[in-house]
Amino acid sequence: MQIWVDADACPAVIKDILYRAAERWQIPVTLVANQMLSTPPSRFIKARQVPRGFDVADAFIVKQAAPQDLVVTADIPLAADVLAKGALALNPRGELYSAETIRERLAIRDMMEELRASGVDTGGPKAFSPADRKAFANQLDRLLSKRAQAK
């Protein structure tokens, strides 16, 4: 298992959780972004800079992700693409996307995009909270524990 992180919009506290998990579970974590990222020194943690452009980081992650890899992203279309490849997708707020829920999430995303395009103020996502951080850490721990038990 490899963890891929859609790092351009990933909260710093989530990256910190992933850094600790990489060391604890000895699992490779690769952050993908269109800007240079600094990461702690570790044989398990890498940063990959991709060229600027619409969905370039997403396309890189989709191409690299393998079945059973974990992709950390809030990008619903990216989550749908990696799920189709057999990878897992986890939102920074701790929501594990699934084949059963991703279609609904895509439909809601598209509807909200249409509303914004027609001038409706839909607001933005709620502020990232300590509860979100905890939900992410708990879900990540469950996934990595399950992986360790399967070995």
pLDDT beyond 70 at 84: yes
Q: 88 phi and psi, to 5 degrees?
A: -95, 150
Domain with 84 in it: what CATH number? 3.40.50
Burial class (CB in 10 A: 0-12, 13-18, 19+), 109: middle
Continuous segment of H or E residues that includes residue 92: none
- Cα–Cα distance for residue pair 21/140, rounded to 1 Å: 8
Query: How large is the C-alpha radius of gyration of the chain?
Result: 15
**Hey, what are 145's tokens?**
């524990």
Lowest mean pLDDT among 25-29, 49-53, 105-109: 105-109
* Three-class secondary structure of residue 34 per DSSP: coil
Looking at residue 124, its pLDDT comes to 66
Q: Which residues constitute the domain of residue 142?
A: 3-150
Distance CA 148, CA 130 (A): 27
Query: In this structure, what token pair is assigned to residue 104?
Result: 């609904």
For 51-71, the pLDDT digits (tens) are 998 889 999 999 999 999 999
Count of domains for the chain:
1
Token pair listed for 14: 């989530």
- pLDDT at position 101 is 87
Position of tokens 């997708």?
Answer: 89
Long-range contacts of 117-123 (CB under 8 A, 24+ apart): none
